[in-house]
Amino acid sequence: LELRNLHVGGLFHDEEEIQMTNSVPNFVGSMQQFTYNGVLYFEQARTMSGATEHAGSHLPRIQVTATFSKRDHQLVHHPVTFKSKHTFVGLPVLKAYSGPNIYFQFKTREPSGLILYNAGREQDFIAIELVNGHVVYTFDLGDGAVRVKDNARSALND
């Protein structure tokens, strides 16, 4: 696969090379560890700080239009550490009427484990697991269980 341009965080009109204005907003937030075809683009952009590619160089030319800020480790508001496989947190039933958005970060030394489980009425449930280093989302909304596995080539590990 050969790429000429790679744009992260927004839409781009290639022919006119101007940012498109439409109803889809650009990304606002924090990104980290963006890797594509084994290249750590954010880390390269941070270290190059405005440098351009040299003739004969295989380094990509990176144009940064975002702002690099200090790495904020406060993104995790209420971290929890589980020191036993028998430890868990109990929460009320998830009330997701239109569509839930669930966001979490985790760091583990175990290849498999239950990350989140929420039982609803009757047989309804959602579960997020780590199975052999891959995130698996399983849910049943009354029509039978559906299982979705990540498509990462390699297992997640810390």
Residue 96 corresponds to which amino acid? Answer: A
| DSSP letter for each residue of 61-119 | P----S------GGG-SS-----STT-----PPP--SS----------S-S-EEEEEEE
pLDDT of residue 89 exceeding 90, the answer is no
Give phi and psi for 48, each to the nearest 5.
-75, -30
Q: What is the pLDDT of residue 61?
A: 73
Return the top range by mean pLDDT from 13-17, 21-25, 53-57, 78-82: 78-82
* 21 and 46 part of one domain: yes
Q: Read off the DSSP letter of residue 133.
A: T
Last residue in a domain, options 72, 97, 112: 72
- The C-alpha atoms of residue 100 and residue 87 are separated, in whole angstroms, by 25
**Mean pLDDT across the chain:** 74
For residue range 109-139, list pLDDT tens digits in order. Answer: 788 988 888 888 788 888 999 999 999 999 9
* 63 and 80 part of one domain: no
Q: Domain span at residue 15?
A: 1-72
Tokens (6 digits) for 126: 């959602």
Domain total for the chain? 2
* 60 and 5 part of one domain: yes
Is the alpha carbon torsion for 2, 38, 42, 73 positive or negative? positive
* 68 and 97 part of one domain: no
Last residue in a domain, options 52, 72, 92: 72
